[in-house]
């Protein structure tokens, strides 16, 4: 059993928890993920590590409530326990030799973009960040990004906060300046796809962090397969980072929709369950 | 008393029409009387060819004799000298290719039901045996990576020798392929749990949720955690795909994924949170035990199921009983057929399989006749779910993260027959070394490695 040390709502749909897992905290590097199960009947879901605190033995993950499992996870308070918490899985983000980079985060993906930006700072790189959200109410981690970034832009689709539009607009402006070694993009698949299209003419190495459906996270199920440069790769052991110019984003978008119907049913079931228990959702 | 009956006593089973509606075990096991009768069919021939056919040389006629005498616990003890998992092997060994293949009674009529008797002795033992006593610890620590058949066998033998053993398992439940792969209806999970509980009662510690190679490297197990020797029983879990067009469409799965969702995550139970894709017309590609397991699982989830296999019925590598059970349960077979493309609908979901007919040519290096494409034989099969059961390769994580550990080109760890690898103090066995093989071979390799680890640590002391 793994104890939840802290819990913080980042916006109405997104929650950050810190879980007690000292060894994972010690070993994890930016870009790696964990798999957790809320309880004995729960499914295994992958979540990218948002941060670690070795001293407190804490591993932070950030999640958005989408289906039954994330809803159940969101019901867990500080001091409560998760039945399973496995990691660190996947390969760390490759930041070697990078001196100047752009980090593009979208929505809840910013949770993963933040440690990547942090890691880049650690190795002495100049970090420019662009983070985007649907509208003001969904903005997360703004202060954290500002503190890390040498240049910072924020967009909202509806213009309710920051610059109106998507991340590609400020991204293009930065790219025009030139001199970047790498672009890291982490967020919705559509955003990563368009980031890749935007960087393509500039010939900058662009890395996308994929989060396909997964079960074991050790290369066993093949569920997380992603087509990269025409070849099937397993995100759990070969990734989760891949060359964004070579990823078949459309295929992954289709694959991620495989269980949408089931997710909706489970969400409803959980809602009813929580109502019965007298907790509000 | 010798029993001249020409055929095995039938195994009581759940009726096919009943069992396709549940996940409970199909074969129900002999009762004491039937077991004794079946045991009396053994003529105790001089040459004991069955023993030679057993990968771990169980003293078969001796345990059978004990069963015929009604000394069931003694029968179990004889099997235990050579096998760590009799309740499992009695159920999943391909006896018709091993012990029973060489049984003299099989020349005219059916061989003695050795597998059924092994299962009987093991089940009887677990029903009646007293709790194991914890051996006196010698204080020396050994790490076992992986809790499948190889790891369980190795850990058990080392614990009995007094070693302080910790088993590291990547998943949340111990048992490896016995829990994620082989379905409940063929190997009840209670049996695997019992084996693990038995190890715990011997003093073995089981650390689940521990992915070695990530959480600790093999090197760190030794330097940071102070294990004097490490056994790698990490198995072959990496699924193979065909590399055909449409394979990454929705509704296309590796058998590993499909079975993991259903077995380990219990997706068939009402209150499980794990989804499983419930296809209406499922096709399973492959002809091994895993293909049969996937096909029979899909039947139980209500699908119309067809197995597509590129060779003929005679060449099916699956255990005979599994193929027979699958047929009884209404699984259809298309032999001498190979898919060349998965056709998809506008949502990129599987809609049909484009296949070719095959014919068998000259035998290949495996000794089986090589299938060749029949010209102009293309046809399509309608399907909304395709399960690829084409075999697996060794899990790559340890190999990738352990400097100096030598491997073969497909990722198999290089180890000798005693489990010694290229690294001192690091041993390996089972599918991680051989590529996907059988439970009994992995179990045997785990036991051999335990002996070898014992020798190594004694020589070091």
pLDDT tens, position by position, B348-405: 899 999 999 999 888 888 778 889 999 999 999 999 999 999 999 998 889 989 999 9
User: Can you name the residues that pair with B207 across neighbouring β-strands?
Assistant: B168
Q: What is the pLDDT of residue B389?
A: 96
Rounded to 5 degrees, φ, ψ at B315 are: -90, -5
Q: Using the predicted structure, report yes or no on whether residue A119 has a pLDDT greater than 90.
A: yes
Cα–Cα distance, B313 to B295 (Å, whole number): 16
Q: Which of residues 177-216 of A touch B (CB under 8 A)?
A: 215-216
* Residues of B in Cβ contact (< 8 Å) with A69: 273
Confidence of residue A273 (pLDDT cuts 50, 70, 90): low
Chain A residues within 8 A of B253 when measuring between CB atoms: 222-223
Between CA A244 and CA A264 the distance in angstroms is: 30
Chain B CA closest to residue A226: B248
Average pLDDT over residues B136-153: 96
The pLDDT score that the predictor gives to residue B366 is 77
b/e code B282-321 from CB counts within 10 Å (16+ = b):
bbbbbbbbbbbbbbbbbbbbebbbbbbbbbbeebbbbbeb
Give me the total of CB pairs closer than 8 Å, taking one residue from chain A and one from chain B: 113
Closest CA of chain B from A222, distance in Å: 6
> Left, alpha or beta for A144 (phi > 0: left; psi -120 to 50: alpha)?
alpha
Residue A121 CB contacts under 8 Å (≥ 6 apart), including other chains: A127, A148
pLDDT of residue A266: 63
Check residue B89 and give its pLDDT: 93
Q: Is B25-128 assigned to CATH 1.10.1060.10?
A: yes
Is pLDDT above 90 for B146? yes
Interface mutation vs chain A, best among B145, B207, B214, most A CBs within 10 Å: B214
- Give the phi and the psi of residue B42 in degrees, each rounded to 5: -70, 130
Which residues in chain A are closer than 8 Å to B285, comparing Cβ atoms?
A: none
Kindly state the average pLDDT of the residues A108-125: 93
Terminal-residue alpha carbon distance, chain A: 24
Using CB atoms within 10 A of its CB, is residue B62 exposed (0-12), middle (13-18) or buried (19+)? middle
DSSP state of B226: -
Q: Which of B90, B89, B105, B134 is nearest to B45 (CA)?
A: B105
The predicted-structure confidence for A188-203, as pLDDT tens digits, reads as follows 999 999 999 999 999 9
A221-232 tens-digit pLDDT:
888 888 999 888
Residues B363 and B444: their CA atoms lie apart, in Å, by: 30
Nearest to A227 among B214, B248, B261 (CB): B248
Task: Please give the pLDDT value at position A253.
Answer: 85
Residue A110 CB neighbours (<10 A): 30
- B189 in contact with A at a CB cutoff of 8 Å? no
**Nearest residue on chain B to A23, alpha-carbon basis:** B215
Question: What's CA A129's distance to the chain center, in Å?
Answer: 15
Q: How confident is the model at residue A276 (pLDDT cuts 50, 70, 90)?
A: very low
From B257, which residue of chain A is nearest by alpha-carbon distance? A221
Tell me the average pLDDT across B17-21. 93
Q: What is the mean pLDDT of chain B?
A: 93
Predicted local confidence at residue B295, as pLDDT:
97
Q: Which pLDDT band holds residue A57 (cuts at 50, 70, 90)? A: very high
Is the pLDDT at A271 greater than 70? The verdict is no
The DSSP string of A7-65 is EEESSSSEEEEEEE-HHHHHH--TT-EEEEESSTTPPPEEEEEEEEETTTTEEEEEEE-
Q: Which residue matches tokens 């053994």? A: B42
Q: Is B435 on the interface with A (CB under 8 A)?
A: no
Cβ proximity of B268 and B276 under 8 Å: yes
> pLDDT at residue B422 above 80?
yes
Q: Is A40 exposed, middle or buried (0-12, 13-18, 19+ CB in 10 A)?
A: exposed
Which residue among A42, A220, A234 places its CB closest to the CB of B273?
Answer: A42
Whole-number pLDDT of residue B266: 80
Peptide bond before A164: cis, by omega within 30 degrees of 0? no
Task: Render pLDDT for B314-323 as a digit per residue (tens, 0 to 9).
Answer: 899 999 999 9
* A119/B341 Cα distance (integer angstroms): 43
Place of tokens 């809609």: B351
Say yes or no: A37 contacts chain B, CB-CB below 8 A.
yes
Residue of B40, B419, B423, B393 whose CA lies nearest to B217? B423
Q: Which residues of chain A are within 8 Å of residue B216 when distances are taken between CB atoms?
A: 23
Average pLDDT value for residue range A136-142: 93
- Quick check: B259 pLDDT over 50? yes
B410 CB within 8 Å of a chain A CB: no
Structure tokens at A132: 């985007």
Kindly state the average pLDDT of the residues B163-186: 95
First-residue to last-residue Cα distance in chain B? 52
DSSP-derived secondary structure letter, B436: S
pLDDT in tens, A244-261: 999 999 888 888 777 766
Residue A180 neighbours by CB distance under 10 Å: 20
Q: Compute CA distances B2 → B61, B66, B212, whole Å.
A: 13, 14, 53
Report the range of poorest mean pLDDT among A214-228, B74-88, B195-209. Answer: A214-228
Interface test with A, best of B145, B212, B215, B395 (most A CBs within 10 A): B215
| Chain-chain contact of B273 with A219 (C-beta, under 8 angstroms) | no
Across the interface, do A232 and B171 touch by the CB < 8 Å criterion? no
What sign results for the dihedral spanned by CA atoms B289, B294, B297, B303? negative
Closest to A219 (Cβ–Cβ): which among B210, B271, B396? B396
B239 touches chain A (CB under 8 A): yes
Q: Which residue do the tokens 């330097």 mark?
A: B223
pLDDT exceeds 90 at position A74:
yes
3-state SS class at B410: coil
Sketch out chain A's domains with CATH numbers.
2-89 (2.40.30.10), 93-206 (3.40.50.80)
Whether omega for the bond prior to residue A240 falls within 30 degrees of 0, making it cis, is yes
Question: pTM for this one?
Answer: 0.91
User: Is domain B141-237+393-460 classified as CATH 3.40.640.10?
Assistant: no
Nearest to B238 among A68, A86, A219 (CB): A219
Instruction: Outline where DSSP puts E strands in B175-220.
Output: 205-207
The whole-angstrom distance between B4's CA and the closest CA on chain A is 48
pLDDT band at A279 (very low <50, low <70, confident <90, very high): very low
Chain B CB contacts of A251 under 8 Å are: 248, 348
Residue B268 has a pLDDT of 80
B386: contact with A, CB 8 A cutoff: no
pLDDT at B168: 98
Give the closest residue to A73 by CA, choosing from A32, A113, A42: A42
Listed in order, the ranges of chain B carrying CATH 3.50.50.60 are 141-237+393-460, 241-390
* Largest distance between two CA atoms of chain A: 57
Rounded to whole angstroms, how far apart are CA atoms B439 and B187? Answer: 12
**Which H or E element spans position B136?**
none
Q: Which architecture does CATH list for B241-390?
A: 3-Layer(bba) Sandwich (3.50)
- Tell me what the mean pLDDT of segment B55-64 comes to: 95
Directed axis angle between helix B72-82 and helix B114-128, to 10°? Answer: 110
The token duo for B446 is: 């785990």
Give the tens place of pLDDT for each residue, B83-139: 989 999 999 999 999 999 999 999 999 999 999 999 999 999 999 877 778 899 999
- Among B209, B215, B256, the residue with its CB nearest the CB of A222 is B256
Backbone angles phi, psi at B283, to 5 degrees: -115, 135
* pLDDT band per the 50, 70, 90 thresholds, residue A267: low
CB contact under 8 A, B257 and A221: yes
For a pLDDT cut of 90, what percent of chain A falls above it? 67
- Assess contact for B178 and B192: CB atoms under 8 A: yes
Cβ contact, residue pair B239, A215, below 8 Å: no
How do residues A176-191 score in pLDDT, each as one tens digit? 998 999 999 999 999 9
Task: Report which secondary-structure segment, H or E, holds A127.
Answer: strand A126-133
């Amino acid at each position: 059993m793994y104890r939840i040390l802290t819990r913080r709502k980042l916006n109405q749909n997104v929650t950050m928890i810190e879980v007690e897992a000292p060894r994972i905290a010690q070993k994890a590097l930016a870009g790696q993920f964990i798999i957790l199960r809320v309880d004995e009947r729960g499914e295994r879901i992958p979540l990218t590590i948002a941060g670690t605190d070795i001293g407190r033995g804490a591993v932070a993950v950030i999640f958005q409530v989408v289906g039954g499992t994330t809803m159940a996870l969101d019901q867990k308070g500080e001091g409560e326990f998760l039945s399973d918490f496995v990691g660190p899985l996947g390969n760390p983000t490759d930041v070697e030799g990078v001196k100047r980079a752009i980090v593009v985060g979208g929505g809840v993906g910013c949770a993963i973009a933040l440690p990547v930006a942090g890691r880049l700072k650690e190795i002495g790189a100049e970090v420019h960040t662009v983070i985007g959200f649907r509208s003001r109410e969904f903005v997360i981690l703004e202060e954290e990004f500002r503190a890390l970034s040498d240049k910072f832009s924020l967009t909202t689709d509806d213009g309710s906060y920051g610059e109106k539009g998507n991340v590609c607009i400020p991204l293009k402006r930065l790219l025009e300046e030139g001199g970047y070694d790498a672009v890291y993009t982490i967020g919705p698949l559509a955003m990563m796809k368009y980031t890749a299209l935007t960087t393509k003419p500039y010939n900058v190495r662009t890395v996308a962090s994929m989060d396909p459906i997964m079960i074991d996270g050790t290369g066993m199920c093949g569920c997380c397969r992603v087509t990269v440069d025409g070849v099937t790769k397993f995100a759990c052991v070969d990734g989760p980072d891949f060359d964004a110019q070579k990823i078949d984003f459309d295929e992954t978008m289709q694959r991620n929709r495989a269980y949408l119907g089931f997710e909706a049913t489970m969400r409803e079931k959980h809602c009813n369950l929580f109502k019965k228990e007298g907790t509000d959702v | 008393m010798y029993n001249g009956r020409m055929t095995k006593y039938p195994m009581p089973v759940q009726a096919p029409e009943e069992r396709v509606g549940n996940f409970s075990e199909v074969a129900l096991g002999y009762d004491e009387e039937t077991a004794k009768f079946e045991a009396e069919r053994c003529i105790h021939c001089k040459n004991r060819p069955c023993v030679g056919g057993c990968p771990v040389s169980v003293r078969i006629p001796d345990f059978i004799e004990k069963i015929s005498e009604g000394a069931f616990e003694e029968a179990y003890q004889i099997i235990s000298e050579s096998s760590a998992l009799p309740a499992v092997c009695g159920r999943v060994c391909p006896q018709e290719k091993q012990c029973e293949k060489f049984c003299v009674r099989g020349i005219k009529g059916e061989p003695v039901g050795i597998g059924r008797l092994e299962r009987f002795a093991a089940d009887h033992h677990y029903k009646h045996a007293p709790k194991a006593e914890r051996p006196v610890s010698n204080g020396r620590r050994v790490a076992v990576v992986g809790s499948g058949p190889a790891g369980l066998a190795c850990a058990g033998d080392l614990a009995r020798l007094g070693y302080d053993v910790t088993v590291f398992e990547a998943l949340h439940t111990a048992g490896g392929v016995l829990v994620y792969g082989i379905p409940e209806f063929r190997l009840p999970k209670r049996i695997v749990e019992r084996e693990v509980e038995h190890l715990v009662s011997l003093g073995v510690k089981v650390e689940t949720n521990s992915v070695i190679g990530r959480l600790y490297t093999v090197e760190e197990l030794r330097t940071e955690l102070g294990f004097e020797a490490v056994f790698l029983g990490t198995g072959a879990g990496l699924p193979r795909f065909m590399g055909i067009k449409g394979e990454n469409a929705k509704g296309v799965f590796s058998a590993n994924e499909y079975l993991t969702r259903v077995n380990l995550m219990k997706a068939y139970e009402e209150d499980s949170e794990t989804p499983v894709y419930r296809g209406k017309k499922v096709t399973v590609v492959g002809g091994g035990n895993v293909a049969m397991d996937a096909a029979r699982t899909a039947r139980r989830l209500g699908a119309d199921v067809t197995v597509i296999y590129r060779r003929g019925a005679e060449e099916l590598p699956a255990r005979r009983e599994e193929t027979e059970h699958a047929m009884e349960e209404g699984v259809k077979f298309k032999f001498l057929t190979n898919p060349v493309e998965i056709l998809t609908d506008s949502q990129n979901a599987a809609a049909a399989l484009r296949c070719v007919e095959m014919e068998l040519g000259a035998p290949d290096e495996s000794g089986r006749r090589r299938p060749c494409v029949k010209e102009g034989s293309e046809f399509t099969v309608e399907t909304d779910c395709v399960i690829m059961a084409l075999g697996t390769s060794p899990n790559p994580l340890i190999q990738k993260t352990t400097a100096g550990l030598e491997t073969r080109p497909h990722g198999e760890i290089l180890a000798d027959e005693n489990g010694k690898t290229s690294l001192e103090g690091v041993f390996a066995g089972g599918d991680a070394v051989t590529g996907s093989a059988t439970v009994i071979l992995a179990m045997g390799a785990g036991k051999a490695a335990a002996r070898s680890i014992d020798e190594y640590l004694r020589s070091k002391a």
